[in-house]
Structure 1
C-alpha cells in the first residue's frame, strides 16, 4: 500500500496569513465603500457637512445683529438660540432656561465652546444673542435626525458591523477549507478507532497536516503489522488447540472403551474403585475436549444461516433439557413466559447451546434442593432470556470475568468440575446474534442472574 510522502505544501501560518490578508482587503474595501456613500450623501444634501451650521450663522449674523427683534425664522437650521439683556436676563429663545444660562456662563468665560457644543455670540443694541451649534454632520431631514443616529456614529456602526460580517464570512470560508484539508486525517483517525487499518491518507497540501498524516501512517503500518502478527499467532494457537483436541479423542476413546470392558470382568472392590476413577476422569477429559473443539469452531467465525424457529417448540426443548439437568440435585424448576413472539430468527443449534450453557451454569451453582428459574419475555424491540439460581451469587470478580475464556471463578462458587468455557461460549453465540449477555446477582433470590437479550431484528412476531 502506498504511503503518503512529504510534500512542499503550504505552511499553516501562510494559510492563516491569507485569511488576514483577505480580511485586510475586505476592511479596506469597506472603508472605501463607506467613504463613497458618505460623499454621495453629502453631494445630494441628504447629509449636511459638519460646518453647515457655522456657515449659515456667518450668513445670518448681520441680519440678527441689526433686526429690531430676534425671531425663530432668523435662526439657521440646526442652530439653537437664546436672547439675553445686557444685564444677563433671559428674554427669549428655544433653549431651556437651564441651557440658556449655561450658554451665558460660557460667554462670560470668553469661551467659544462648551464640552460638546460650539457657541457664537452676536452683539445687538441692547441685547446679546447666543447661538449654539454642533460641528458634526447632520441629516437635512428632521425625521432622519429624530430616528437615526448622527451620520458620524452611523458610519462607525456600519464599519463595526461590516468588519464583523467580513471576518465571520471569511472565518467560515477558511474554516471549511481547513476542515476539507483535514478531512483525510480525521477519516484516518475514525478508521483506526473502528479497527480498520486498510486505508491510505491523501496529501492535504498543508505541510504541518501532512507531517501529522505521515506519523499517523507510520503508526498505522506498525499497528497493522503488530495486529497481523498477533492474529497469526492466535490463529496458530487455535489450530494447535483444535489439533490437540482432535488427537486426544482417539486415545481417550480407547481408554474409555477398555475401562468399560473391564467393568464386565470380575473385579474386587479396590479394582472396581480404580476403574471407576479411570471412567470418570476419562469422561471429564472427553467433555473438556469437546468444549475445546466447539470453541475452536466458534473462533473461526464460520457464518451459519439463521432460520425461523417456532418459539413454543424451541422453549419446549429448552425446558425438557433444563429439567433433565436439574434432576441430580433435585432442583425446583420454574419457567416463566410472557408476550413471546410466534417465531424467532436464530441459528437454532448454537442459540440452544448458549441457553443450555447458561442453565447448566446455574444448575451447577445451585445448592441441593434449590431452585433454578428461567424467565422469557418478549418486548417491542427485544426478546429476553433470564436465568436465576438460588446459589451464593457471583463475587465482584466473577461479575467482571465470569464470561472470559477459561475463567473458573473463586472457590465460593466454583464446584471444580467445569472448565471456564460455558459462559464464554454462550456470550460468543449471543454476540453473533447481535445480542448481549449480562451477568449480575438477583437481589430477591440471592443467587446469580444471567440475562441474554437479542434484538427484534432476530425476532418475528
Structure 2
C-alpha cells in the first residue's frame, strides 16, 4: 500500500510538472501570433492603401490559423496527459486514409513545390485504430512536411510481425539543422531560440503519443538529407 501510494504521488507530481511546462509553452507560443495580430491591426487603422491593407489582412488570417492549430494541439496534449482522450477502435484501410488526407493537401504541396510519391503497390492490410487519431497524426506530419521539406515526400508501407508500418520520408533543406534525438520532445523546433512562429513544436510529440495510445509506436531517423518517420500500427487490435 505504501508503494502504491508513493507511485501515485510520483505520478501526480509528474502530471503537475507536465501541466506547468504546458502552460509555460502555451503562454510563449500564443504571445507571438497575438502580438503580430495586434501590430497589423494597428497598421490597418493607419493606412488607406488598398494593397497594403490586403497584405496586412492576409498576415492576420495566417496568424489566426496558427492560433487555432496551437490551441488544438494544446487541447489534445492536455487530454492525453490526463488520460481523458478516449479511443474508438475500428478497422481502417490505412493506405486509403493516407491517400485521401495527403491529396486533400495537394494545393499546399504544389504551392511549396513538394512532389508527393505514393507506392506503386499498396499494402491493403487493414489496421485496428482510432480513425480520428490517425487522421490527426497524418495532419501533423503533413504540416511538418510543408514547413521543412525541400522538394520531395515519399510514402511507403511494410509489414513487421503484427504491425503495418507506414514510412513517410522527406528531403530536408540544405540549411536545416535537425536534432534527430529531440524531434519527439515537447516544444522542440529546429529554431532553438524558440522564435519560430511557424511551429509550436508539439506536432510530432503529440503524434507519437497518439500512436502509442493505439498500442503502436513511432520512430524517426536521419539518413543523409532524408528525414524519415516510421509508424507501426497494430493489425490485431490493442493488447490487454
TM-score under structure 1 length normalisation: 0.41
What secondary structure sits across from 1:230 in the alignment? helix
Equivalents in 2 of 1:228, 1:373: separation in Å?
40
CA deviation map 1:202-229 (0-9, x unaligned): xxxxxxxxxxxxxxxxxxx6x4475155
How has the CA–CA distance of structure 1 residues 313 and 272 changed in structure 2, closer, same or farther, with 3 Å as cutoff?
A: closer
Contact in 2 for aligned 1:326/1:363 (Cα 8 Å)? yes
Q: Write out aligned runs for 1:74-89 (5 A).
A: none
Contact in 2 for aligned 1:388/1:449 (Cα 8 Å)? yes
1:351 and 2:134 aligned: yes
Contact in 1 for aligned 2:15/2:82 (Cα 8 Å)? no
How has the CA–CA distance of structure 1 residues 356 and 275 changed in structure 2, closer, same or farther, with 3 Å as cutoff?
A: closer
Aligned partner of 1:292 in structure 2 is: 74
CA deviation map 1:163-208 (0-9, x unaligned): xxxxxxxxxxxxxxxxxxxxxxxxxxxxxxxxxx42xxxxxxxxxx
Equivalents in 2 of 1:284, 1:228: separation in Å?
32
How has the CA–CA distance of structure 1 residues 276 and 340 changed in structure 2, closer, same or farther, with 3 Å as cutoff?
A: closer
Contact in 2 for aligned 1:375/1:387 (Cα 8 Å)? yes
Aligned partner of 1:433 in structure 2 is: 214
Contact in 2 for aligned 1:398/1:410 (Cα 8 Å)? no
Query: Shift of the alpha carbon at 1:432?
Result: 1.0
Aligned partner of 2:233 in structure 1 is: 454
How has the CA–CA distance of structure 1 residues 318 and 225 changed in structure 2, closer, same or farther, with 3 Å as cutoff?
A: closer
How has the CA–CA distance of structure 1 residues 283 and 358 changed in structure 2, closer, same or farther, with 3 Å as cutoff?
A: closer
Question: 5+ residue gaps in structure 2?
Answer: none
Equivalents in 1 of 2:22, 2:104: separation in Å?
32
Equivalents in 2 of 1:322, 1:376: separation in Å?
20
How has the CA–CA distance of structure 1 residues 373 and 232 changed in structure 2, closer, same or farther, with 3 Å as cutoff?
A: closer
What secondary structure sits across from 1:434 in the alignment? coil
Contact in 2 for aligned 1:387/1:449 (Cα 8 Å)? yes
Contact in 2 for aligned 1:339/1:379 (Cα 8 Å)? no
Equivalents in 2 of 1:308, 1:288: separation in Å?
30
How has the CA–CA distance of structure 1 residues 280 and 340 changed in structure 2, closer, same or farther, with 3 Å as cutoff?
A: closer
What secondary structure sits across from 1:350 in the alignment? helix
Cα RMSD for the two superposed structures = 3.8
Contact in 1 for aligned 2:149/2:171 (Cα 8 Å)? yes
> Which of 53, 56, 60 matches 1:278?
60
Q: Write out aligned runs for 1:112-127 (5 A).
A: none
Contact in 2 for aligned 1:364/1:415 (Cα 8 Å)? no
Equivalents in 2 of 1:453, 1:304: separation in Å?
17
Equivalents in 2 of 1:319, 1:228: separation in Å?
38
Equivalents in 2 of 1:229, 1:315: separation in Å?
37
Contact in 2 for aligned 1:358/1:423 (Cα 8 Å)? yes
TM-score under structure 2 length normalisation: 0.74
Equivalents in 2 of 1:355, 1:303: separation in Å?
18
Q: How many residues align?
A: 223
Q: Which has the higher contact order (CA 8 A, sep 6+)?
A: 2
Query: Shift of the alpha carbon at 1:240?
Result: 6.1
CA deviation map 1:26-67 (0-9, x unaligned): xxxxxxxxxxxxxxxxxxxxxxxxxxxxxxxxxxxxxxxxxx
Q: Write out aligned runs for 1:203-352 (5 A).
A: 223-224=6-7, 226-231=9-14, 233-234=16-17, 237=20, 267-268=48-49, 269-301=51-83, 302-336=85-119, 338=121, 340-352=123-135
Question: 5+ residue gaps in structure 1?
Answer: 4-196, 199-220
Query: Shift of the alpha carbon at 1:298?
Result: 2.5
Query: Shift of the alpha carbon at 1:398?
Result: 1.6
What secondary structure sits across from 1:430 in the alignment? helix
Query: Shift of the alpha carbon at 1:290?
Result: 2.3
Equivalents in 2 of 1:306, 1:415: separation in Å?
36
Query: Shift of the alpha carbon at 1:236?
Result: 5.5
1:387 and 2:179 aligned: no
CA deviation map 1:421-457 (0-9, x unaligned): 11101101111122221111234xx221111112332
Q: Write out aligned runs for 1:3-42 (5 A).
A: none
Contact in 2 for aligned 1:319/1:335 (Cα 8 Å)? no
